[in-house]
């Protein structure tokens, strides 16, 4: 089992999840060169310890346990794993905090999908 970041992360890249992950398996982080060019964040399924800490931290509701990923986001499970093939390019997370979205922003972001 692992947790998966899905498409509602696109355009938000909130990073609140990065701040709580005890094993630093969410990439890229804000100060990584890839942060500006990647559309979204990803979880390394081989390193994730399934603690679940990231899921409630994502106020955009983009993170799911792999068994609970909605069908519309089903491709994202493989995408998270695939992106981790390039994890040597990523850097160790730095906690820089993040602004919290309003309920209206969360609803508007979900409407896109
Ligand atoms: Fe990190 Fe835990 Fe989320 Fe896995 S479930 S990505 S270990 S915070």
pLDDT tens sequence across 57-95: 999 999 999 999 999 999 999 999 988 776 665 555 555
User: Rounded to an integer, what distance in angstroms lies between the CA atom of residue 40 and that of residue 24?
Assistant: 16
More reliable by pLDDT, 38 or 98: 38
Q: Is 65 in the pocket of ligand 1 (CB under 6 A)?
A: no
Residue 18: both structure tokens together: 């990065």
DSSP state of 63: E
Q: What is the pLDDT of residue 83?
A: 84
Q: Is 58 in the pocket of ligand 1 (CB under 6 A)?
A: no
Q: What is the pLDDT of residue 85?
A: 72
1: buried, middle or exposed (CB in 10 Å: 19+, 13-18, 0-12)? exposed
CA 4 – ligand 1 centroid, Å? 9
Report whether pLDDT(104) > 70. yes
Report whether pLDDT(54) > 70. yes
Nearest CA to ligand 1 atom 4: 48
Q: What is the pLDDT of residue 34?
A: 86
- Look-up of token digits 């500006």: 36
User: Rounded to an integer, what distance in angstroms lies between the CA atom of residue 1 and that of residue 65?
Assistant: 7
- Contact status, residue 42 vs residue 80, Cβ threshold 8 Å: yes
Strand-pairing partners, residue 43, are 26
42: buried, middle or exposed (CB in 10 Å: 19+, 13-18, 0-12)? buried
Q: What number is the average pLDDT over the span 35-51?
A: 95
What does pTM read for this prediction?
0.78
């Amino acid at each position: 089992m692992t947790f998966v970041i899905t498409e509602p992360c696109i355009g938000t890249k909130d990073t609140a999840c990065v701040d709580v992950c005890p094993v630093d398996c969410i990439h890229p982080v804000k100060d990584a060169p890839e942060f500006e060019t990647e559309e979204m964040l990803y979880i390394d399924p081989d390193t994730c310890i399934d603690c679940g800490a990231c899921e409630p931290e994502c106020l955009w509701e983009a993170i799911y346990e792999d068994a609970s990923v909605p069908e519309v986001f089903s491709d994202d499970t493989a995408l998270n794993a695939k992106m981790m093939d390039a994890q040597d390019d990523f850097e160790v997370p730095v906690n820089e905090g993040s602004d919290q979205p309003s309920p209206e922003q969360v609803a508007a972001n979900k409407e896109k999908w």
